[in-house]
Amino acid sequence: MAKEDRVLTIDVGGGNLKMAEFAFSPGGAITLTGFGFRRFDPSGTDENAPSFLQVYHEMLAEHKFTARGVRLSLSSQTSFQRLSKLPPMLGNRSAISRVVEYEARQAVPYAMSEVEWDYQLIRHQWEETRVESDEDGSTHEVTDPHEEYEALFIAVKSEEISAYTNVIEDSGREILSVEIAPVALFNAAKAAQQVRDDECVLLVNIGFSCTSLVICDRNRIFMRSIPIAGETVTLGVAREFGMENKEAEELKIRHGFVALGGAYEDSESALESTISKIARGVMTRLHGEISRSVNVWRAMHGGNAPTRVLLAGGGSTMLYVTDFFQEKLRLPVSYLNCFGAIAISPSVNREELQLVAPMFQELIGMSLRSVTVCPVDISLVPKLIRKQRDLDRRKPFFYISAGVAVLCLSVFALGVSKLLDFDGRRAKRVEREVKRITAKMNDIKELKTQCDRAAGEYNEAAEILKKRNAWFEMLEELQTMIPDTMWLVVLEGVGDPSDAPAAAEGGGKPQQPAGGNPFLAVGSAAAGAGSSSAAIPDLREVKRLHLVGYTLSLPGHQRLEAQLESKLKNSRHFTEEWVLGENRKVNNLSCFEIFLRLREPIRK
């Protein structure tokens, strides 16, 4: 089934523009629904000739072609084609592509960035027969199969193609393919079975400005463009009669034919005779180029000799052209008719079509691309169009991808919204829980503070209770240390001298009453014990003991204070740091004052 319902084929020849619209049925049948033909100057050398833009739009408006897809073919004169043999070692497509590209770079006389080019890989198989001798002397034939690959590559300057494709695309139509006329002619001849796969046929398309030579050797193809065609006859007539090319073309069409030569008589009209001889001279030159091309084909490419000749193109309609080539080439010559491969719509004017039918063979070949794979499938669509086409093909996938991306983003956004909502609710629950726990922690901290304060008070009281027996133990030890002839009248706890500056004044000695009576001092000391204690500030800790007492002094005995001092060195409660005040004697009594430092202070 065709890729398109309709297609418009356009052939830009050397001096005319041909259009044909084809419709495709679901079964793959091709129907010609309309055609058009108009002469114009593609080279632009004739200022009076209409341009391609003008002729193209005039033909579209005149014939009301509706097809949106366009297949375009160009004259072989604007192209560079070559058939190259490939090395037998190549076994993969990528290696072949690199070799063909290298061959193209070497052969094409332009920079590869300035041309559009493509190639067709052709498989060539043949057999060689040789005679071998057996041991008994008999001989037999041995057939060796051979195979090689050839690359047919075609290049056309990008500006040559863009001059037409830009106009076509600007009219709102799509370029489906671009090729050269000989390739379309070859495909049409194969499809119409005008060329069989078991023969070698020579296709000669005599156009306006050039002749396309196509050798169809089974599945192989050899092409050459010869710059000798109908325009060459027109120029000869114009020079001969000194007239404009347009008038010479009209004169050629009305009176022109190819002189038969030899024993044939000339025309009675001198005009016709002259034109016929000019035409014969041009055809003779053309025959020479054709013969040379066939020889090149056979010598360089090992091709077979043609067995038939098929003519096409406007220049082939001149009278006696078939007879001329049949005489020169000594081969059967007939016209190529590819209309058997298509159907013709009843709306088509068959009489007008018959007049231009030899020039419409390429258009049939282009239409075949929509329904089948052609033997030679070479596309010269410009790179910009191919890129745009690839982009258009990818647009649905891009839109689908964009839709999927938007859908994914929407689902993601919805999921994020749900997650944020869930996290928000959870955060609020956590915040409430944190507030509750914080309040509990504050309560705990306050209770801990109260507990610590109570523990401090308890420890302080426990410490006091722990040391409540310290006084008894200390007094008991002190009692054991005091000699029998010593007694105390004052025992009080005091701090360091720095803690009780008032008490330290006067060296801490007790005040003697007036008159210096020591007994009065003892009595006053005993009586004033409270006042002496009151003179010392209220201290939190007792670090020393203040002792005031009397000793009985006996002759020949050691001082009692020295005995006490020796005992204090081994005391558990007092250190060796102690201060003995001034000793005063009255008769046999001594009054003394001592400050003893406690090993461990006692809290009051």
Residue 93, pLDDT score: 67
Q: What is the mean pLDDT of the chain?
A: 83
What number is the average pLDDT over the span 388-416?
87
Residue 470, pLDDT score: 78
CA distances from 328 to 67, 280, 432, 586 (A): 44, 11, 111, 183
- Does the pLDDT value for residue 399 go beyond 70? yes
Instruction: Give the percent of the chain with pLDDT over 90.
Output: 40
96-129 residue pLDDT tens: 778 888 888 888 888 888 999 998 888 877 777 7
Count the domains in the chain: 4
Look up the pTM and report it. 0.66
Tokens 């069409």, located at residue: 253
**Which DSSP state fits 510?**
P
- Does the pLDDT value for residue 534 go beyond 80? no
CA distance linking residue 461 with residue 16, whole number of Å: 129
Residue 579, pLDDT score: 67
Do residues 242 and 96 share a domain? no
Do residues 418 and 446 share a domain? yes
Q: Which residue has the higher pLDDT, 262 or 388?
A: 388
Instruction: Give the contacts of 265 (CB within 8 A, at least 6 positions apart).
Output: none
Residue 511, pLDDT score: 41
C-beta of residue 579 within 8 angstroms of C-beta of residue 568: no
Nearest of 596, 590, 595, 581 to residue 522 by alpha carbon: 590
Q: Which residue has the higher pLDDT, 286 or 479?
A: 286
Nearest of 285, 273, 352, 283 to residue 318 by alpha carbon: 283
- Does the pLDDT value for residue 177 go beyond 90? yes
CA distance linking residue 485 with residue 491, whole number of Å: 17
pLDDT band, very low/low/confident/very high, at 178 (cuts 50, 70, 90): very high
Would 136 be classed as within a structural domain?
Answer: no
Would 560 be classed as within a structural domain?
Answer: yes
Do residues 330 and 344 share a domain? no
Do residues 81 and 160 share a domain? yes
Residue 533, pLDDT score: 40
C-beta of residue 52 within 8 angstroms of C-beta of residue 17: yes
Do residues 421 and 537 share a domain? no
DSSP 3-state of 343? strand
Cross-strand partners of 152: 83, 120
99's tokens: 């070799």
Last residue of a domain, one of 424, 450, 466: 466
Do residues 318 and 372 share a domain? no
Phi–psi pair at 119, nearest 5 degrees = -140, 160
CATH of the domain at 307: 3.30.420.40
- Does the pLDDT value for residue 76 go beyond 90? no
Would 437 be classed as within a structural domain?
Answer: yes
Nearest of 35, 66, 72, 34 to residue 175 by alpha carbon: 72
Residue 526, pLDDT score: 35
- Does the pLDDT value for residue 532 go beyond 70? no
- Does the pLDDT value for residue 35 go beyond 50? yes
Would 386 be classed as within a structural domain?
Answer: no
Would 138 be classed as within a structural domain?
Answer: no
Would 391 be classed as within a structural domain?
Answer: no
> What are the DSSP E strand ranges found in 13-114?
16-24, 30-39, 69-74, 79-85
CA distance linking residue 357 with residue 339, whole number of Å: 9
Would 137 be classed as within a structural domain?
Answer: no
Q: Which residue has the higher pLDDT, 407 or 468?
A: 407
Do residues 407 and 533 share a domain? no
Mean pLDDT is highest, among 21-35, 375-389, 492-506, 568-582, for: 21-35
CA distances from 390 to 155, 387, 393, 396, 455 (A): 22, 5, 5, 11, 89
Q: Find the range with the poorest average confidence among 119-128, 179-188, 384-393, 584-593.
A: 584-593
Do residues 38 and 185 share a domain? yes
502-531 residue pLDDT tens: 444 444 444 433 333 443 343 333 333 333
The domain containing residue 67 runs over which residues? 1-126+147-193+337-381
Instruction: Give the percent of the chain with pLDDT over 70.
Output: 86
Last residue of a domain, one of 325, 349, 381: 381
Would 133 be classed as within a structural domain?
Answer: no
Q: 3-state secondary structure string, 97-148?
A: HHHHHHHHHHHCCCCHHHEEEEEEEEEEEEEEEEEEECCCCCEEEEEEEEEE
